[in-house]
Chain A
């Protein structure tokens, strides 16, 4: 699945789907511990084999949105090569949110997979 992330060519439903997917991936990535934005990008790109996040910058509005909801918290810290970087970590609420979303996602993909499996040859 490739996703074109420019606002003019993406309809609303698709945007919601991307956002939801990206949010889920960010929350999941942060279960490993506090990470800065660049590290999150790399992690997601590697593990999805660059299928999601065609445009790396799209990560940052997503991070701000999650922070505003209180699911992740930000704190400035020192990066591996000792530079100032903004680190994100999962909040208690974020952890709970991740659990519900994982369940929903599981049920959803299973259902969609079943339908697609019966239609596809």
Chain B
């Protein structure tokens, strides 16, 4: 019988290189036949051989020609065969996966969860930490801070910055900048409605700011044509791509256009490229007035570009030498002050966020690992059920490599499906993180599933496939046809169960680590929630306005503050009103040197310079509105007029400078030893209004009438903080300060909640990871135990027939589960300790070794794990001996 053509081709065994002998044999056959035929026709044997060779031609040349052809044919056939085989494997894989939809869905879902979580978090970390800043050679950019004599970071004084630039050779450029609110009216000149001024973020910058960053204009220039003229009278601005698009309508003739910036006509000289925004959030850049700064006005931020070949450490010590020299030249303002340099990236992201992200990335990696191990364990189980199929194929002549390949193709199919569903999950996840993530994390809004992230998740899915697919493939393909066919797949069960047991223990151990991590971050967050900020933000609305300096000289600000206070207080439903420079947790802090006559700094041998205290300028009603208790003396009232020198101090301040004594009536110098003298009129309770997880800072409260800054934040305590109230307050303010942008009025509680966003975000994510890990590990335990019970049906049936009670059967099976859980816990505690140590820096008052957290994590895992083992155990006890024994 001849087999059909396709079948014969499919079954043909290709022995590499066999064509060599075949070509020779074929030619030899031809020559011999010719010789035989010639002899038969009566030729002499010797003559016949000569004639045969003559008529054939050169056998060597012909053989060579044939071999070349045969070789290329064989290679082509092998390629086609491989393609054909893999396609066939894929078809088989999809068919066999389709035949077991439950387990396939489970594997795809588990893998999708792991890949999705990892991808989402990677895209966040990528945007925030990994992606290079959009500047030329960003690794050479540094952030400059001054350091107080006490060693705290402080902003920079412009005269100092200019001297650094002159004196230090370590930099190719140093620039200073500020970031402040401004109002922008971009409506075309002469238009009737005049337009509503918009609140924008403006960055006044020094001359070489853009040069230091290495930015080039997308349109126009980054300096006016006549060059940079320092000073406040230059009326030009550079705008961001985003502002050009959104506020200026993408006007193609934007260069040269005039806009009203803080009420003054300003010409746009250039547009930056998209995404090139520094400092974060800035929309416009204007020249920084360089002539009106005292040396102790430390109010700007500094950046520098390291000269080629100069390390950050070398530049740091170089600048410290310059700073030391300045300290000798200007002892009043500079003695004891040094400079601190940080990589721009780490200065922007902050060590806390940076570390937290890396910890989360590590945790999500652990989750992915658990998912892989789980899928792996499911594949091993599936493989055990298919040992018959494998045995049949082996005995039909399939080599082991072929079986491994087939199983790996199956794993790849799962990997692909899992990767795709993970990607879908990641898109949703990134959206969620952008929505809920802490607002202060820079570049978070740029997080998206882009090509980099796609490449990452493809790599993750692929690596996972190898990770979870290889071991089961090797295990399943190792068959002993004789035994497996006879035993129907039961003999290899013990080995399979051992392997699965090891995989389940791994999952449990990893889950313990994540549970401990989640427990620690959650406890830390709860402790942070329990911190008393020292003020009550309940039912208080807050809104900040920034008065244009030119239109509102100090006297006008003073009267305006009184007027606003009066008008807002008169609104129905208002309980009390206060104005202040900066509100709690609004990202606006002021601090200044303070000298207290007769006070000697303790602890350090030499008191260098003056201590720094945080200060706020507040109107009457501030303590009442925020429910800050007045402990001694009186609050700020309307009797604290312009020209007077009064101050209210916080308890921490009083205890630091006048320990055990009454502070009221004492005198201090605001601004250092040559500052203005002020008399303490009251002491109030401590307030944590800048950082929640630190001890309250010593704080001074000065009357707004004596320090009338242009920033005014209005705090309005209401009977019930509602949207209607917020609208009423906003409307009233707009009436009182026409032409000044008034942003949305928001509850003060939002500020406080914002200070807790980051820890909450971390705790939520860690908990989500831990819950997912726990679920996966529990399903692993459950699957293994259910499998074991199914395998031991007969044995259990025999035991019960011989008199074992159901309780004994449950105990027997549960014991096995308990052993797994115990092994997982023991292994997991080691891993947990490592994870906890890396969490240390982001925890608030929660030591990484906190025993109760570990105990709780172990308890949760034990309960869930044992429950997962108990369910199959109970099913084992329900086995009916007669049914179990008569089956098969």
Contacts and interface: CB of A to CB of B under 8 A. Distances in A.
A91 B4 CA distance: 11
A86 B56 contact: no
Nearest to A7: B61
For A36, A38, A92, the residue with the greatest tally of chain B CB atoms inside 10 Å of its CB is: A38
A55 B26 contact: no
A61 B55 contact: no
For B22, B23, B57, the residue with the greatest tally of chain A CB atoms inside 10 Å of its CB is: B57
Given A68-B73, A79-B33, A85-B29, 8 more contacts: A36-B26, A38-B29, A56-B30, A57-B57, A60-B62, A61-B62, A86-B25, A91-B5
Given A55-B55, A68-B76, A61 B69 contact: yes
B57 A58 contact: yes
A76 B30 CA distance: 14
A38 B73 contact: no
Contacts of A92: 5
Interface string A51-79: 00001111011001101100001001001
B322 to A, nearest CB: 80
Interface of B: 5, 22-23, 25-27, 29-30, 33-34, 55-59, 61-62, 65-66, 69-70, 72-73, 76
A84 B25 contact: yes
A83 interface: yes
Given A38-B29, A38-B33, A64-B66, A57 B59 contact: yes
A121 B639 CA distance: 138
Contacts of B25: 84, 86
B29 A57 contact: no
Interface of chain B, main secondary structure: helix
B34 A58 contact: no
B56 A56 contact: yes
A73 B29 CA distance: 19
B5 A65 contact: no
For A5, A57, A65, the residue with the greatest tally of chain B CB atoms inside 10 Å of its CB is: A57
Given A36-B29, A38-B29, A86-B22, A60 B66 contact: yes
A42 B61 CA distance: 21
Contacts of B59: 57
A56 B31 CA distance: 10
B69 A64 contact: yes
Interface residues of A, number: 24
Interface of A: 5, 36-38, 41, 55-58, 60-61, 64-65, 67-68, 73, 76, 79, 83-86, 91-92
Contacts of B70: 64, 68
Contacts of A65: 69
For B22, B55, B61, B70, the residue with the greatest tally of chain A CB atoms inside 10 Å of its CB is: B55
For A61, A85, A86, the residue with the greatest tally of chain B CB atoms inside 10 Å of its CB is: A61
Contacts of B29: 36-38, 79, 83-86
Nearest to B76: A68
Contacts of B23: 60
17 contacts: A5-B57, A55-B57, A56-B34, A56-B55, A56-B57, A57-B27, A57-B59, A60-B30, A60-B66, A64-B66, A64-B73, A67-B73, A68-B69, A76-B22, A84-B25, A85-B26, A86-B29
